[in-house]
Amino acid sequence: MKKLIILLVVVSLSAICWSQAGKGVYQVLDLPMDARSIGLGGTNVSLFDGDLNLALNNPALLSNKSHNILTLNYARYLAGINFGSVGYGRTLGENNFALAVNYLDFGKFQEYNELDIYQGEFTAKDMVLNILYSRQFGKYFSVGATAKVIYSAYERYSSAGMAIDFGANYHDENNLFDMGLTVKNMGFQFNGYHSIEGSNHREPIPVNILFGVSKKLKQAPLRFSFTLHNLQRFNLNYERTSATDKEYKQVYEIKWYDMMFRHAIVGVEIVPSNNFYLSVAYNYRRNAEMNIPSFRSIAGFSFGAGIKVKDFRVAFALAQFQSGNLTTHFTISTDLKGFGVK
């Protein structure tokens, strides 16, 4: 039964985290929570336009435009899995702060013992508390950091840890150009899920280095974004079999140019005004890992839309994290000034 529990958790994590199997724990840290990020291919670390949700990708994107903004995100996945976040931004002088909570709920499971006798139900969940800070230096540059407290509980097994993100951003409003760099998930486990011979077994948290640029055209309502992820390691392949090295290379080896493109995400937004956008993006790695011969799929592509209605901004996105299954993502944000909060 324990093997079945572990298998279910690993399969679920693999599916929703772009099939990026384990170079460590807490894959939830790289799971996009908001519709804007999903619509831009899964992440964006460069776009500086006051969107509080994008600051979870790069804390340097947090600005005074996020002051008093409350945002809610929700996505429903297959088999009862759902995830989302809630965040709030606040500016004090030249210092920008935000607080956000991310959660990933795998739903309820039925437990049976080795004799196939029902033992009741249990749950599996991940939660992350994010504390963000940013500050602008001069006209163009801003820097930021995010402290993350992580708690994970799968049935009777639990783990806690902490991680830190550092980010920088260059924003040239005159030329409509943005550039961002982020180092994510530098941290450690306080305690692991289990012990080995009485010693607590701790696993590494997967660091992710990202770099991106965004450019809006002056003569057309188009904005292009290009993001590189996992720059800390070139080889993103994780599959191993019992085959020999020679057999493995013949069947599974990924060419260097293919691997290079697996680091890239390309996104395009149509922005006729500040109150509306449409987006489409292509994540090459997701497409390559979800590709099934003779099966048509739009894996790798994602689509998004957002509109502002009075004091509310609503966003929606579609993406395919698993062949044959589309996921829907919703975001709603509002300025609490309209509710009497200054």
Please give the residue that has the higher pLDDT: either 314 or 239. 314
Give the integer Cα–Cα distance in Å for 197 and 268: 52
Tell me: the pLDDT tens digits for 73-92? 999 887 788 999 999 999 99
Task: Say yes or no to pLDDT of 311 above 80.
Answer: yes
Q: For the chain, what percent of residues have pLDDT higher than 90?
A: 63
Segments forming the whole domain that contains residue 231? 2-339
Q: What's the confidence (pLDDT) of residue 235?
A: 86
Please give the residue that has the higher pLDDT: either 326 or 301. 301
Closest CA to 178 of 223, 132, 133: 223
Q: What's the confidence (pLDDT) of residue 291?
A: 73
Window from 88-92, 173-177, 291-295 with minimum mean pLDDT: 291-295
Q: Exposed, middle or buried: residue 17 (CB in 10 Å: 0-12, 13-18, 19+)?
A: buried
Q: What's the confidence (pLDDT) of residue 10?
A: 37
What CATH number is given to the structural domain containing 97? Answer: 2.40.160.40
The pLDDT confidence band at residue 329, using thresholds 50, 70 and 90, is very high
3-state secondary structure of 257: helix
* The total number of structural domains that make up the chain: 1
Tell me: the pLDDT tens digits for 118-128? 888 999 999 99
C-beta of residue 140 within 8 angstroms of C-beta of residue 151 = no
pTM value is: 0.86
